[in-house]
Chain A
Amino acid sequence: GNSVTQMEGPVTLSEEAFLTINCTYTATGYPSLFWYVQYPGEGLQLLLKATKADDKGSNKGFEATYRKETTSFHLEKGSVQVSDSAVYFCALMDSNYQLIWGAGTKLIIKP
């Protein structure tokens, strides 16, 4: 069946460090891929998405590229800030138009 696997957290970085959060997926066909972010005490917000292979989604300095050959959608940011501290979820949209979610990766940025 379809599934999403994310790197386990928490991930702790210093401000201005480079961030990578790994996400790989298993799916039939070519699903749309998403990164959502959940700030403390809040609901989820879409961070970025990609709908076909080799697409790059980007927002707020974050980027992720849809890699069909490695079935991956890793999230990256060149220089993180304390305000980026949150839980990040990778998800795919299956053929029934339902989101399949990873377990989430907690990111902690220290000043």
Chain B
Amino acid sequence: DGGITQSPKYLFRKEGQNVTLSCEQNLNHDAMYWYRQDPGQGLRLIYYSQIVNDFQKGDIAEGYSVSREKKESFPLTVTSAQKNPTAFYLCASSMEGTSTDTQYFGPGTRLTVL
């Protein structure tokens, strides 16, 4: 069964702690993405990667970091520098990252900072 998995579904963090969100895909897609979704707003791009060992900042990368050591994995770390990290985080992948590509989404992780 091909798809994108994100874990955990819910995550609680104390202020000042770093936390890592997992994203795995078995679709053999080259490109992967992290988005943040806040209530009443569209998705905003945090980071994206079009190939292993390479990634670029999106519109709201400050306070976040990523790695892409394997094609199927693109973990996102929310650092203590992120001022307002409580949000719903969505991971996506696409075959090549081109202009007509469809992005496929995972089920999301809801992060709450206590």
Interface residues of A, Cβ cutoff 8 Å to B: 4, 31-32, 34, 36, 42-46, 49, 51, 89, 91, 93, 95, 97-99, 101-104
Contact = CB atoms under 8 A, between A and B. Distances in A.
A45 B100 CA distance: 16
Interface string B37-60: 000111111001010000000100
Which of B31, B58, B105 is packed against the most chain A CB atoms within 10 Å? B105
B43 A89 contact: yes
A97 B98 contact: yes
Contacts of B107: 42-43
B42 A102 contact: yes
Given A97-B98, A97-B99, A98-B48, A103 B40 contact: yes
A97 B108 contact: no
Interface residues of B, number: 26
Contacts of B31: 97
B43 A43 contact: no
Given A43-B105, A98-B58, A31 B99 contact: yes
Contacts of B44: 101
Nearest to B103: A99
B63 interface: no
Contact of B102 (A46, A89, A98): A46
